[in-house]
A and B are shown apart, each in its own frame.
Chain A
């Protein structure tokens, strides 16, 4: 219901991609232009590699080709490009990078969709909101740190056999499931104008927490047992860097690969903090 707009948006892009795909021919050469960096504090540079495209090729298969034969398009011997990846099925979130200017997973990025003709160029950059480790690999520790800020877990009494969990309506399960498909990829953070690079971990607790964490706070506030920590979560989100730091640019929901209603989650947290603040004011604590 809430993601109709996003889906319409996604399907328009999908239609364009499908049209490109029809014209694309395997065996063609395309250029992969990569923003490289040898390590933290090192200067960045562009390198271009020429890659022969096989059927169904994606950005990952291009990077694999380059790793095996790291020679740039002008014939210079270089080093294999470093990148982060895992499942290659768009469920682990590891291979997120900026492709042709937009953040997304590289595994689900088909070359036919983005560089359909001979000699096309596809541009890869590391995410800009996290410190670069090397080349396309960035350090997303802050993203996980922010899950601790919102206490994104259910406070169970240990792993002993203590019977079933709370019963839940199918409707609530469907809502929670979508929220729970967040794979911590960081697309929402990369596209957010309010979330900016912060290499100093000491500043993480007061910098913007990000849409992914707000969504997790909502997810656990909605769970029967998780709700018992709602107050703590809201307290954390009412401070500096909390929900109020959201600027409502709403890019997050448009780039989320899992179509999670992030802006809805932000508003739910907004409402909860409003109520929480009034309750606290009147309860005299």
Chain B
């Protein structure tokens, strides 16, 4: 008998770990991350935050500060996030290579989802790498306008990284924003569809009706996450950088904003909120 590789010896364990890591920690992180980032929009609805200026900016800053207050963050990040993602991505590519899409002949919806799951995986890997490299590792040469994201000025630097310039969105900024839109959409699909297939893999949903019902639930989860993802990208891509900076400074100094800012709030809110749709 030929010697078998560890990949083959532990085939089942690896397959199930691949499935599991997609849900937890990666999927759970994705949900919380989108929740944090979409606070740039839903934060506008928190009137307590509005005292500092842009409620979304303030809420987002608050969320970021909370995350940065977690002890041993780097260790958690490496072992709870980067390694699982690397594991999920590497195995995912390995597994995906065994298939050959045939949607041209069998254009069933489930077959398209099969294909999209693999495409979204590949694109997702590139997107996550870009996302982490530019915003976490400071590979600013890849950022339009060369902005560096900073935890202290979370919203404004994020907006700058998407838009490319303080003066408003540039061509490169638009391209990056669209890429972000696409990237997060595919990742959300990947997660929601992965949740659906995981239920079959683990044998939770067995009958066709059960699979269909769980499909609706996954679609609902996906739709909710898609809303958060788009809110976040559009929220940052359309954020007024200068105003965001004002809010962030106000948060840092503990100053309540001047009356003129408070007066402008009612006009700002609907504008920002509508951008989140």
Q: Which residues of A contact B (CB under 8 A)?
A: 1-5, 101-102, 191, 193-194, 196, 206, 208, 238-240, 242, 244-251, 253-255, 261, 263-264, 266-275, 277
Contact = CB atoms under 8 A, between A and B. Distances in A.
B141 interface: no
Given A101-B105, A238-B11, A277 B206 contact: no
Contacts of B102: 191, 193, 251
Contacts of B204: 271
A208 B11 CA distance: 13
Interface in B199-215: 200-209, 211-212
Given A2-B208, A249-B114, A206 B12 contact: no
8 contacts: A102-B106, A208-B98, A244-B12, A251-B111, A267-B211, A271-B204, A273-B12, A274-B203
Contacts of A277: 12-13, 16
Contacts of A191: 102, 105-106
Contacts, number: 113
B129 interface: no
A255 B106 contact: yes
Given A238-B12, A247-B114, A271-B202, A1 B209 contact: yes
B98 A245 contact: yes
Interface string B106-125: 10101101110100000000
User: Interface residues of B toward A: which range?
Assistant: 35 or more
A215 to B, nearest CB: 13
Interface of B: 7-8, 11-13, 15-16, 95, 98-102, 105-106, 108, 110-111, 113-115, 117, 196-197, 200-209, 211-212
Contacts of A206: 8
Given A240-B11, A277-B16, A193 B201 contact: no
Contacts of A101: 105
B6 to A, nearest CB: 11
B108 A250 contact: yes
Contacts of B197: 247-248
Contact of B110 (A1, A196, A248, A261): A248
Contacts of A264: 206-208
Q: Give the top 5 A-B pairs by smallest Cβ distance, nearest first.
A: A271-B203, A249-B114, A244-B15, A238-B12, A270-B203
A272 B41 CA distance: 45
Given A193-B100, A270-B200, A273-B203, A239 B208 contact: no
A172 B8 CA distance: 35
Given A239-B8, A263-B208, A254 B203 contact: no
Contacts of B206: 264, 267-268, 271
Given A193-B111, A251-B108, A1 B207 contact: yes
Contact of A240 (B8, B105, B117): B8
A270 B211 CA distance: 13
A193 B110 contact: no
A193 B101 contact: yes
A254 B95 CA distance: 24
B110 A268 contact: no
A273 B12 CA distance: 9
Contacts of B211: 263, 267
Given A5-B208, A254-B106, A248 B114 contact: yes
B98 A266 contact: no
B1 to A, nearest CB: 11
Given A239-B11, A239-B12, A251-B108, 8 more contacts: A208-B98, A244-B11, A248-B197, A267-B200, A267-B203, A267-B207, A269-B203, A274-B16
B100 A102 contact: no
A9 to B, nearest CB: 9
B15 A194 contact: no
B205 A194 contact: no
A229 to B, nearest CB: 18
Contacts of A193: 99-102, 111, 114-115
B205 A267 contact: yes
A240 B98 CA distance: 11
A248 B13 CA distance: 19
A255 to B, nearest CB: 7
Contacts of B114: 193, 247-250
Contacts of B98: 194, 196, 208, 245
A3 B110 CA distance: 16
B15 to A, nearest CB: 4
Contact of A270 (B110, B111, B201): B201
Nearest to B208: A2
Nearest to B212: A5
Contacts of B209: 1-2
A76 B102 CA distance: 34
Given A2-B208, A191-B106, A274 B11 contact: no
Contacts of B7: 240
A206 B208 CA distance: 28
A249 B108 CA distance: 9
B148 to A, nearest CB: 41
